[in-house]
Amino acid sequence: MKDIVKSLEKTVEYLKGITQGTPEIAIILGSGLGSLADFIEGKQIIPYEEIPGFPKTTVQGHEGRLIFGHLGERYVVAMKGRFHYYEGHDTVTVVYPVRVFGMMGIKNLLVTNAAGGVNTGFVPGDLMLIKDHISFFAENPLRGENIDELGPRFPDMSAAYDPSLQKIAMKCAEKIAIGLKSGVYCYCKGPSFETPAEIKAIRTLGADAVGMSTVPEVIAARHMGMRVLGISCITNMAAGILDQPLTHEEVIETGKKVEQKFSSLVKEIVRNW
Ligand code: HPA
């Protein structure tokens, strides 16, 4: 565990050495939602390969780079290409970037993802504010000896998604006339999509959307006391809802269709953060 802290310190030292101070907000961009990065001004792009201690991406179409710069008035860092458990990474690797952000002194995390709609009132293309999550089935990234330098052994998850930031997000959506649903995100490990029976079970448990990311990162962020806001893009209806198979292409295609709407909302939220 001490090795992780040493590695994190090295990564942080490198990034602090080449960037302009501490970003106010770190933004993790989900599949197909990367175009928000186009709106970042004065971009400084750092490929993951150049960052000491940083993991390497394995999935095609998931570019691996940190983008530092300004979104409106705010100095931010965006993460284009995240690490998923289904790629074979262990959970400690999955949350490594979030821990780097926390150790850099970044206090705010905006996490986004592509997700399947479990709530039958949703349609592909909807945006959903994450109000809570369910993650019974997955390994917790904090498993093992606690890293006391980062946070407590048993972090509270009662308000994992900051209630006041959720209110801001809802107001922003209203102001710019973008529909924003809200709901519970259920994390499944993937990489196979869920079965119809699993989706029925997940719905019974109280979830509105399902996806293969986000939760480990949110747990690590809350461990470090970061404020978290989460937005899902409903890219498809989850298995068994429509009479059609699920494909990764549909996920990416819908992501592309809503990119404009998604970017507008995120810009407005960041402005009002
Ligand atoms: N299930 C899990 N992850 C996903 C889905 C889904 O239906 N859509 C996008 N990511």
Task: Categorize the per-residue pLDDT at 60 as very low, low, confident or very high, splitting at 50, 70 and 90.
Answer: low
**Ligand 1 center from residue 116 Cα (angstroms):** 4
Nearest ligand 1 atom, CA 117: 7
Band the pLDDT of 178: cuts 50, 70, 90: very high
Of 82, 188, 198, 212, the residue with max ligand 1 atoms within 8 A of its CB, to mutate for a pocket test, comes to 212
Query: How does residue 59 score in pLDDT terms, banded at 50, 70 and 90?
Result: low
Per the document, the length of the chain is: 273
Residue with tokens 């030292």, as numbered in its chain = 13
Contacts 24+ apart (CB under 8 A), 190-197: 190/84, 190/85, 190/86, 191/84, 191/86, 193/116, 193/238, 193/239, 193/246, 194/116, 194/238, 194/239, 195/239, 195/240, 196/239, 196/240, 197/240
Active site residue 84: yes
**Which of 269, 230, 265, 214 is CA-nearest to residue 98?**
214
pLDDT at 136: 83
Token pair 């649903």 is at which residue? 181
Residue 103: is its pLDDT beyond 70?
A: yes
Does ligand 1 lie within 6 Å of residue 198's CB atom? no
The pLDDT score that the predictor gives to residue 57 is 74
